[in-house]
Structure 1
Amino acid sequence: MIYPIFEAFRISFFMSNGTVEKWVGLKNYSQVLQSKTFWKAVYNTFFIGFFQLAISIPLGFTLASLINGLKWGKDFFKSLFFIPYITSIVAAAMVFMYVLHPEMGILNFILAKVGLPTSTWLAQPQTARWGAVVLAVWHELGFVVVISLANLQTIPRQLYEAAEIDGANRFQKWLYITIPKMKSTFAFFIVMGWIASLQRFSETYILGGLQGSPMRSLYTIVGFIYERGFGGNEYGIASAAAYILFMMILVFTLFNIKLSKLKV
C-alpha cells in the first residue's frame, strides 16, 4: 500500500502517460483546479452526498426510534433494513437501472398508479442526480438504522422514567431526551458520511458510464480521476486530482478527530 501512495504523489508532479514522464511541478494541480469538468465533478459529489445525508440520517434515526419502541420483532426489522447495506453496491446499481427505467421501471409504475407524473430518470441531468441520491439512501439507510438503534439502547431508562413522572408524553421524551443524547452519533454519521461520499464512484459509473451521463450529471471526483488516468492515460493529472481528493478527506478526518474529543 505504501508504494502506490508515494508513487502517485511523485507522478502528480510529472506529465506522464505511464511510460514517458516530464517534470511540470505544480502545473498538474493548477490544471485540475482550473478544470470546469473537475468542478462539475465536485458539485455532483457534494450534491449527492449532501442529500443522501440529509435524507438518510433523519429517516434512519426515526425508523430506529420506532423499532426501539417495539415489544417484539426488533431483530427482524434490524435485519430487514441492514440487508441493502451489505448488498454489493454494483449489484444494487444494476438493479436500480431497472427500477428507474422509463418504461419497465417499478418506480414509474408506482408513480403512475397513484396519479403522479413519471420521468425518464436517467435521461435528464437533474433527475439522474436524484436517482443516484435515492440509490445512496436505500443502500446506506440500514447502517444509520442499526447504529442509531445500538446507541438508543444505551440511553439510561431512568431519564425516561423521571420525565414520565414529571408528566412528559412520548413525543416530549423523544424530543428532549433521545435527540440530545444522540448528538455524538449524528456527528459521527455526518463526518463519516461525507468521507464516504467523497469517494463515490461505483454506483455512478454503473448508472452513467465513464463520463457520468447525461451531461456529466453523475460525474464524481473519483470518476474524474478514473477517466483522466485510465481513460486518457493522463496519470499526472489523475494523481494530482487524487491528492486534492486526499486533502479533502484529510480535512474531514481531522475534523472527526477533533469532534470526537468534544463532550457532546
Structure 2
Amino acid sequence: MNKAKQKAQAGTMQLPNKKVDTIRKEKRKVEFSWYVFLLPSLIGILLFMVYPIVESFRLSFFQSNGTIENFIGLKNFQLVLTSSTFWNTVWNTFFIAFFQIAITIPLGFIFASMINSVRRGQNFFKVIYFLPNVTSIVAAAMIFQFVLHPEMGVVNYALDSIGLPTFKWFSSPSTSKWGVILLAVWHWLGFVIIICLANLQAISSEMYEAARIDGASKIQQWLFITIPNMSGTFAFLLITGWIGGLQRFNEVYVLGGPNGSPARSIQTMGAFIYERGFTGFEFGIASAATYIMFIIILLFTFINLKVSKMNL
C-alpha cells in the first residue's frame, strides 16, 4: 500500500513538470517559426550586403579584370592615392556637397519658419515643397538638362529677359558644378523644410509667451529661442547632408556620364569608382577607391559629430 501511494504521489508530482516541458517545446516551435520568417531577409543581407563588402575588400589587394586576378598587395591603394584624377573627384565632391549644405539648410530653415507662422494651409505648403524630394533624382537630372540648357533653358531665358548674363551651365567646366548644386538644392530643400518644421512645432509655446511678456520682439524670439532650440536638428541635417553629398553619383552620371563631362568637372568619387570598375574593368582599383571613400566619409562624419556635440 505504501509503495502504491508513493507511486501515485510521484505521478502527481510529474504532471506539472510534463506540462512545463510541453509549454517550453511549443514556445520553442513558435520562436523557431519566427526565425524561419526572418531567414529570407538574412540571406538577402548576406548575399547583397555582407558578401559584396568582403569581396570588394579582397579585390582591393588584387589586379583584377573580373576573370584574371593577380595579387599586388597595397599597390591599388597607392595608385588611387597618387592619381590626380581621383583627387580632382574628391575636390568636386566636397565642393558640390559644401555649397549644397551651405545653401539648403539656411534656406530650408527660413522657409520652415515662414510656413510655421501660417495659420492655415500648412499641409499644402508641406506637400508643395516636399514634392521634389520624392521625385526620382534621375528624372530630375534629365529635366534640369532642359531647364539649364544654354539656349532653350528657362533659367537663361529668365536671366536674359531681365538683362543679366546667361551661362552655359553643363556645357562649361566653370559653371557645371553650380548646375549640379542648383539641382541638389532643389531636390533636398523639401526634406530640410519638413525636418525643420517638425522641430519648430515641438518648441514649447510657453518660452515664446515668457519672451513676449519680457518685451522681446519677433526677431529676438527667433534669434534667442528658435535658433538655439534648433541646434540638434541642424547637426542632424549637417551630418546626413555630408554623408549623402560625399556619396553623390546618380545625378552627375546622368548629367556628365561616368567621366563627369565637361572635362571631368562634375565627376565625383562615386563616378570615379564606377568608371574604373564598370568602364575600365579595373575592379581592384575601384575596390581600393571604394574603401578610401569609406574612410574619408567615416573621418568626416566623426569630425562633424565632435563639432556638433561641442555646439549642442
Who is 2:269 aligned against?
221
8 Å contact 2:269–2:293 — kept in the other structure?
A: yes
CA distance in 1, matches of 2:256, 2:127: 30
Q: 1:159 to 1:92 in 2, by over 3 A?
A: same
Q: How far apart are residue 262 of structure 1 and its match?
A: 7.0
8 Å contact 2:256–2:262 — kept in the other structure?
A: yes
Q: Deviations over 1:139-182 (max 9, x none)?
A: 00000000000000111101101111111111110011100110
8 Å contact 1:129–1:217 — kept in the other structure?
A: yes
Q: Does 1:164 align with 2:183?
A: no
Q: CA RMSD in A?
A: 1.4
Who is 1:3 aligned against?
51
SS in 1 for 2:170: coil
| Equivalent of residue 164 in structure 2, options 116, 132, 136 | 116
SS in 2 for 1:22: strand
Q: Deviations over 1:11-38 (max 9, x none)?
A: 0000101111111111100110100000
Q: 1:261 to 1:180 in 2, by over 3 A?
A: closer
Who is 2:150 aligned against?
102
Q: How far apart are residue 210 of structure 1 and its match?
A: 1.8
Q: Does 1:144 align with 2:192?
A: yes
2:137 alignment partner AA: I
Q: Deviations over 1:195-252 (max 9, x none)?
A: 0011101101111112101111110000000000001000000000001111122224
SS in 1 for 2:119: coil
Q: 1:11 to 1:81 in 2, by over 3 A?
A: same
CA distance in 1, matches of 2:176, 2:310: 39
SS in 2 for 1:213: coil
CA distance in 2, matches of 1:256, 1:46: 14
Instruction: Decide which structure has greater helix share.
Output: 2
Q: Which runs of 5+ in 2 are unaligned?
A: 1-48
CA distance in 1, matches of 2:125, 2:300: 32
Aligned residues: 264
CA distance in 2, matches of 1:87, 1:236: 34
Query: Quick one: higher RCO (CA 8 Å, sep 6+), 1 or 2?
Result: 1
Bigger CA drift: 43-52 or 243-252? 243-252
CA distance in 2, matches of 1:127, 1:260: 32
Who is 1:236 aligned against?
284
SS in 2 for 1:122: helix
8 Å contact 2:64–2:283 — kept in the other structure?
A: yes
Who is 2:224 aligned against?
176
CA distance in 2, matches of 1:128, 1:171: 37
Who is 1:32 aligned against?
80
CA distance in 2, matches of 1:177, 1:126: 41
CA distance in 2, matches of 1:114, 1:58: 27
So what's the TM-score if we normalise by structure 1?
0.97
Q: 1:247 to 1:204 in 2, by over 3 A?
A: same
CA distance in 2, matches of 1:263, 1:124: 39
| Equivalent of residue 57 in structure 1, options 88, 105, 109 | 105
Q: Does 1:248 align with 2:296?
A: yes
CA distance in 2, matches of 1:176, 1:99: 40
Q: How far apart are residue 259 of structure 1 and its match?
A: 7.0
Task: Decide which structure has the larger Cα Rg and report it.
Answer: 2
SS in 2 for 1:15: strand
Q: Does 1:128 align with 2:163?
A: no
CA distance in 1, matches of 2:274, 2:179: 22
Who is 2:243 aligned against?
195
Q: Which runs of 5+ in 1 are unaligned?
A: none
Q: Deviations over 1:95-142 (max 9, x none)?
A: 000001011100001101111111111111121000000000000000
8 Å contact 2:239–2:305 — kept in the other structure?
A: no
CA distance in 1, matches of 2:306, 2:87: 28
Over the matched positions of the two proteins, sequence identity in percent amounts to 60
SS in 1 for 2:171: coil
